Chains A and B, each alone.
Chain A
Amino acid sequence: MHIAEPVLRAEKVTKEVSSPEGTLTIVAGVDLSVAPGESVAIIGASGAGKSTLLALLAGLDEPTSGRVWLNGSELTALDEDGRAQVRANHVGFVFQSFHLVPALTAIENVMLPLELAGKPNAREAAAEALEAVNLSARRHHYPRQLSGGEQQRVAIARAFVTRPAVLFADEPTGNLDAATGERIIELLFDLNAASRTTLVVVTHDPAVARRCERTIRIEAGRLVA
């Protein structure tokens, strides 16, 4: 269906871990291809391997076998620092538990990925990103001074500020009440549409999945649809 060169591609990706009961296969031979600008929801029951798959696709973890390409780079051929560099330049994250650096203010948190990627004018870009999530007024607040919804908005600003090729979101509304979660999803998809970023989101929430162009279900480590 998608003619353009995929921005994210997985080939026979398997992740096994050893446990007291023997080897446990968490992700089993997953093949996946995501086109630029596409939005994909990964859904499945708890323990089905959603988060592990996300970690493998984003290069946060290494598969036991198989290969992963992200924006032209083969992640599985890179070492940890090489993958970190790919993430710095091409990837944004939004996490369930926000994961802001407690030592940094809102604007500093947003500046962080720009600084790590060595990009200029980090402060201006971060201010713009905070403006986009409507948090300019709280830019100098520390994470502990912000509500859950506000923290997630900062995290979203941080994810978009590098204009990433792919944005990974892990249960972005999992720690928020329903109304706030809805507003966060609204914001995420609006920004996604505006910046033509590819979105890969792991979720339990059918409402979130419905907003995506494609839904992938994972069961016992295998893609079923």
Chain B
Amino acid sequence: MKALRLALLALVRDGKSGELRVLMLALVVAVAALTAVGFFTSRVQQAVDRQAGEVLAADLRLQSRSPLADDYLRLAQEAGLESAQLATFPSVVMHGDATALSAITAVSDGYPLRGQVRVAPTLLAPAQAAEGIPGPGEAWLAARLFAQLDIDIGARIQVGNAELVATRVLDYRPDQGSQFVDLAPTLLMRLDDVAATGLIQEGSRVSYVQLFAGDRAAVGAFKELLTSRKKPTERLADINDASPQIRSAVERAGRFLNLAALVTLLLAAIAVAIAARRYVARHLDTAALMKSIGASQNLVLAITVLELAMIAIAASIVGAALGFGAQHGIAYLLKDLVRSELPPPSLSAAGLGLVTALAILVGFALPPLLQLRFVPPARVLRRNLEPPPLRYVTVYGTAIAALVALLGWLVRDLALLSVVLVGTLVTFAALIGAGALLVLALGRLRGSVGVAWRYGIANIARRGRDSVIQVVAFGLGLMVLLLLAVVRSDLMQEWRASLPADAPNQFMINIRPEQASDVRDFFAERGFAPPELVPMVRARLVEINERPVGEIELPTDRGREFIEREANLTWAQHIQVDNTLVAGTWWTPDDGGGPRVSVEIEMARALGLELGDVLTYDVAGERVSARVTSFRKVQWDTFRPNFFMVFSPGTLDDQTGTYITSIHVPRERKRDLLDFMRRFPEVTVIDIEAILAQVRGVMDKAALAVQYVFGFTLLAGVAVLLAAIQATRDERRYESAMLRTLGARRRVVLQGVAAEFTTLGLLAGTLAAFGASAAGYVLARRVFNLDYSVDPTVWIVGLLAGALLVGVTGTLATRSVVDHPPIETLRKG
């Protein structure tokens, strides 16, 4: 009780005197950053949990690229289960001249078996649960489609050969897939209206689905029955299979934002460590006095720890409240990515705040604070008596232990934890090295500047270690923001510039063989360069070297994914211009070499293939084998149709397939495209430009959200700066008094201070611009294969922002020191 009362009194007094301001600021920033991310991910997590039961719109979902047998429906009926069917495929829908790519979902009565479809009667009305499915000749469209077609309820739209009336705004359907955006908005229509559209032809990209639901035992038995009967190409999913991907996607996103928040946490921890040193220095006298009049070591310790605990609680409450407010910002920035309404955040993320605050305090503030316990009581008589110095092992050991514990708790993945930890330590070491070099180089300028600047630069050099920490802390905050804001958009531009002006912008798929010449003629008549039509056959890899793929251990997940689904195959006489042979030889016409296949090199690695291996495909029930004779490197971003597997002519020619092509249609000739769609309604035209714009939009939003989280990093940088200023306050006050006693005017002293912080800011800006440019260069050359020229904006923004932010903040925070009457300072000694 005694300790608690004294701790409370100390807290009140320290709070009033402003001693705790920086400590609190640093803790609050860290807690706010982490809880904002925590609150946001808890919302998405809950949304996912809530919908896990209905993501299938059923208890069991059978899916295939080929039509499913009606037998299954009969069996389900016999087993007493409900059932429904649907078919999904991409298609362009039109209204007048307006077109939009849409994901058509055609459903039978009874859909959905689990969950509800939600629709609104008008664009602005609130959504309600729908009764049944769209009526004959009707369609329910996602709001995005209404916007893209510029139509309202009641409009007649063209879907293939059929005309449908848009009667409702589709807000939500339970099996719309992941919470994150898919590229095309949904159009919901009746399955029995599909025939009239003429859109489903042989070779079309259609997913056929049967849904089943009933009581648990019946569903379980039926699942076993289906598993034994279904074809290998038909995929069965129940609720347990449905959610893991979404869950792990959400977890990954959460981890990523958490990592962004961690940078903030690290800087905040540095600020806390500096503030704690100052706190100890200011409390040595009181601790010595308490001991001299009879307080035990444990009492002194208890007061300190209790005060610290109260600070942690206060900071976590304030920080969590700010984090709660800030998560609305993240949710707002990502609102287009997370389509459905998010549930309110769970308050458990606030607990994260308390853990964060405690971990930072225990790791970074407690070791120096424990020294108070060892203050010699004789300090009341001789002020130069200090507690024994802390051992480095204690200081860094506790800090790293706290960091590892917190990181481990947030990341929950040992491999990732070690990568992050090593990455962090190496980055910090590099930044500190660079910062130290900058500070060192600065010293050389001293002789060539005026008195105020000389005083400022001298101060930076004298407080060498502290200066480096400030430069790194601020530089890091600026660097990540520069990277996200300037370098990212540079890379985007660089990439766009790397594409030729006439790069294809329209993809056409589902062209039937008999239409091929008509399609070619269509474009030739209109003066386009005749497009190259590439044949395409869908097939499934069943054997490698006559061993069934199911028995083969594959080196990667990617390889497994590849063999689990049907693949697109093609054949060609000549190697495509955007392909490069990296191993083996290409075939020549009529060389009599038999069926052969050329494999894309990354895929070859994923499947563990070697030249000479024999691949066997199941093409619509027929087995086709071919020998691997070459590996190719493919340049995917040319927007030409490209394939993992290219067969020699004559191997697949007899198979029923479709053609695929890509073409560049200039903006002013979009009308020709509309004519094309009217003439070939069953050919699916995909506007890559629109999709790219959408992808860019998504990336911009995501980058903005990450930037937003990094905004806290900059604030933590400010906290480090303020902590460092506070730590040198007494020293500065004395210096300022001395200078003024020696005849310096107040303005000159202030100019010196401004020069010091502006220089620090310039150093931080230099480090930030250098780091961001280097990271941009590495990303461009290594990851994106682009040329990267350093954008001077990075340097201008970096230096200006650094000089302004640090210069102004530092000068303002030090102003009161300069204003302090010198006589008072000198009298105190």
Contact = CB atoms under 8 A, between A and B. Distances in A.
Interface string B270-287: 000000000000000110
Q: Which bracket fits the contact residues of B? A: 20 to 34
Contacts of B292: 58, 60, 87, 93, 99
Contacts of B296: 81, 84-85
Contacts of B299: 116
B258 to A, nearest CB: 38
B295 A84 contact: yes
A104 B11 CA distance: 11
Contacts of A51: 381-382
Contacts of A102: 13, 17, 286
Nearest to B300: A84
A31 interface: no
Q: Is the interface of A mostly helix, strand, loop or mixed?
A: helix
A7 interface: no
Interface string B357-389: 000000000000000000011101110000000
Interface stretch (A107-115, A125-133, A191-199): A107-115
Interface in A115-139: 115-117
A104 B10 CA distance: 8
Given A88-B294, A102-B286, A60 B377 contact: yes
Interface in B286-339: 286, 289-299
A41 B504 CA distance: 101
A95 B289 CA distance: 10
Given A84-B296, A93-B293, A103 B14 contact: yes
Nearest to A117: B294
A87 B293 contact: yes
Interface residues of A, number: 30
Contacts of A113: 293-294
Nearest to B828: A97
Given A55-B381, A60-B377, A60-B378, A103 B10 contact: yes
B9 interface: yes
B294 A60 contact: no
A116 B12 CA distance: 20
B285 A84 contact: no
A170 interface: yes
B381 A116 contact: no
Interface string B9-49: 11011100100000000000000000000000000000000
A35 interface: no
B9 A115 contact: no
A74 interface: no
B297 A81 contact: yes
A101 interface: yes
Nearest to B10: A103
Interface string A170-202: 100000000000000000000000000000000
A114 to B, nearest CB: 10
Given A84-B377, A93-B380, A95-B381, A116 B295 contact: yes
Nearest to B17: A102
A61 B297 contact: no
Nearest to B282: A102
A116 B1 CA distance: 12
Contacts of A87: 292-294
B294 A55 contact: no
A224 B4 CA distance: 48
B294 A101 contact: no
B293 A108 contact: no
A108 B9 contact: yes
B391 interface: no
Contacts of B382: 51-52, 55
Given A80-B297, A88-B293, A158-B293, 7 more contacts: A52-B378, A60-B380, A81-B297, A85-B296, A99-B285, A113-B294, A115-B2
